[in-house]
Amino acid sequence: MNISIVAAIGENFELGGKGNLLWRLPTDMQRFKQITTNHHVIMGRKTYESLPAKFRPLPDRVNIVITANTSFKADNCTVANDLIAAIDVAKNAGESDLMIIGGAQIYNQALPLAHTLYITCVHAAFPDADVFFPKWNEEKWKVVNEEKFAADEKHLFAFDFLKLERNH
């Protein structure tokens, strides 16, 4: 099973601030939906709770929420107590391409296990950020696809879509 990480990060690896995204990029949201639909998605409890209620659980995906809280319940989601248990849920269901969608703690744990990174690089710095994506060793990854987008009336910031694969 391929393990993919999907994340949007600022120039300094920023992910979010005060439980919120730091930017609004509709094209990135469309890409996120395209990449993750019809797959198992793993997220931490804080990421799950940060989703707008109307998008919880994320539609057309098997949502797996990781939390150490054994009494935590999330409607129409599978709850796992750690990353390995969450990965096992997807593996046992026959998933071919598992998607790790955040947040920072889950990304930190998943990066050594990941085969593919789908990264949106937002071309701006965000001083209000309080959660960050882990830095990856660039020697261990190669960019296999890159698309560049300029800022426009719907996108306050320029951004790039990167797809990286782990070197074997």
> CA–CA distance from 143 to each of 65, 101, 119 (Å)?
29, 19, 10
Per-residue confidence (pLDDT) for residue 56, from 0 to 100: 94
55 has a pLDDT exceeding 80: yes
Quickly name the fold that domain 2-166 has. Answer: Dihydrofolate Reductase, subunit A (3.40.430)
Helix (H) or strand (E) holding 8: strand 2-9
What is the average per-residue pLDDT within 120-129?
97
**pTM of the full predicted structure?**
0.96
What is the average per-residue pLDDT within 1-25?
95
Report d(CA 168, CA 166) in Å as an integer. Answer: 6
19 has a pLDDT exceeding 90: no
What is the average per-residue pLDDT within 9-14?
98
SS3 content of the chain, % helix, strand, coil (to 5): 25, 35, 40
Q: What digits encode the pLDDT tens for the residues 27-49?
A: 999 999 999 999 999 999 999 99
What is the average per-residue pLDDT within 126-142?
96
Per-residue confidence (pLDDT) for residue 86, from 0 to 100: 98
150 has a pLDDT exceeding 90: yes
Tell me the HSE value of 163 on the side-chain side, using a 13 A CA sphere.
8
Per-residue confidence (pLDDT) for residue 20, from 0 to 100: 84
Q: What digits encode the pLDDT tens for the residues 65-104?
A: 999 999 999 999 999 999 999 999 999 999 999 999 999 9
Per-residue confidence (pLDDT) for residue 65, from 0 to 100: 98
Average pLDDT, the chain: 96
